[in-house]
Structure 1
Amino acid sequence: MSFYSLSQEERIQLTEAAIRDGGTLRSRWEALADGEAKPWTARSARAAELLGPVESVLDVGCGTMGLEPLLQTQRYVPSDVVARDERTIVRDYNREGPPPVQVEAVAVLGVLEYLLDPEGFMRQLQADKAVVTYCTTDSPSPLEPRRSHAWVNDMDTATVEQMFARAGWTIRSDEQLDGAQRIWLLTRT
């Protein structure tokens, strides 16, 4: 059963239980369908443009791996909370952090919203370049209530950008991607 087939109240209850447990709500991702991932195509395309040609990319929260065919890279490393194919590095980012993989770039698309410690996660990434998205609370069309999407934190644009700086990243570009989310290109400070 897909997460969004549940009532809003049921989704919020599951999210709050995951927060109390300190882990990721795996059931949100186990039944991920291509149709649910279809709206992420534009986000993946913009992320690939921002990354440009790079030697290697870690795709954190790779979902249906829609980013892979858009990249100009020699080495694509997918990671998610559930296996997407035999290459997937399976991690509960809330319990284990990001995979300890050294790459030139990392894509963190639609992931920070699900992290209990997004700053610690960003600090642990082993890359020189990152492209990151986040649905900010001050977006033109914020998605509410946030817990009904399994999101476990609530940050506005300024808070996200301060978090990047504290985690050792410099913002190279940022833009509103759609009505709900922003996208940033970051480099290590």
Structure 2
Amino acid sequence: MKFQELPESERAALKERARNETLIELWKEIPASSSQGWNDRAALAAEMLGDVRSVTDIGCGAMALERYLPHATYVPVDCVQRDARTIVVDLNREPAPETGTDAATLLGVLEYIHDVPKLLADLARAYRVILVTYNQAEDRQSAEGVTRDTWVNSFTRDQLGDVFEQSGLHIVRRESLGTQTLWLLRSQTAAL
């Protein structure tokens, strides 16, 4: 039975168990093909990244971003194996991998992270360019879909901006897409 088909009491029990870990069961259910919303988000993310030569796609899911960056070296990272290239990491238990790429993306990931400031500070030391998406608190009432039940944090747009700055990230550009905001960030602490 899929996570969203479970009775509310069972979903609540799983979420409680996962208070400091990732609901791996949920992510195993992500299909190989992505939704149109993911494609739209990936297309905008690729446009915002510009002519990046290499990217680490953290929380790669269906790898929609790869299609929009055909000339870039693509490194997929997720909490479950997506293909033979995937680096498997649970960001709620382990640090993000340092892959040496020009940029890192986290599309639809931060909502599931228990310690967002720590993750962002770690990424700021490892990557010069970071692109993240987030469904901020003020837009969540209109958000729909499987993810809403499993989000583990809630930041407003201003709070998230403060977290970026405190983590050593400078906001370069911000774009809205539906209930999500895409943030292009430049590290102030990454080694050149």
Normalising by structure 2, report the TM-score.
0.88
Asked if 2 retains the 8 angstrom alpha-carbon contact of 1:15 and 1:147, the reply is no
Percentage identity across aligned positions? 38
Is structure 2 residue 139 aligned with structure 1 residue 139? yes
> Which stretch of the first structure deviates more once superposed, 29-38 or 50-59?
29-38
Deviating beyond 4 angstroms after TM superposition, the runs of 4 or more aligned structure 1 residues are 144-148
After TM superposition, list the pairs within 5 Å mapping 1:109-188 onto structure 2: 109-125=107-123, 126-139=126-139, 141-143=141-143, 149-178=149-178, 180-188=179-187
Using CA pairs below 8 Å that are at least 6 residues apart, which structure has the higher relative contact order?
Answer: 1
Q: Give the aligned partner of residue 61 of structure 2.
A: 63
Show the counterpart of 2:76: 78
Inter-partner Cα distance in structure 1 for 2:103 and 2:82: 20
Question: What is the number of residues matched between the two proteins?
Answer: 186
Letter in 1 for 2:138: D
- Any gaps of 5 or more consecutive residues in structure 2? none
Contact kept, 8 Å, 1:60 with 1:78, in 2: the verdict is yes
- 1:181 is displaced (CA, Å) by 1.2
CA distance in 1, matches of 2:8, 2:71: 39
Residues 34/153 of structure 1: CA separation in 2 closer, same or farther (3 Å cut):
same
In the other structure, the counterpart of 1:45 is 43
Amino acid at match of 2:65: L
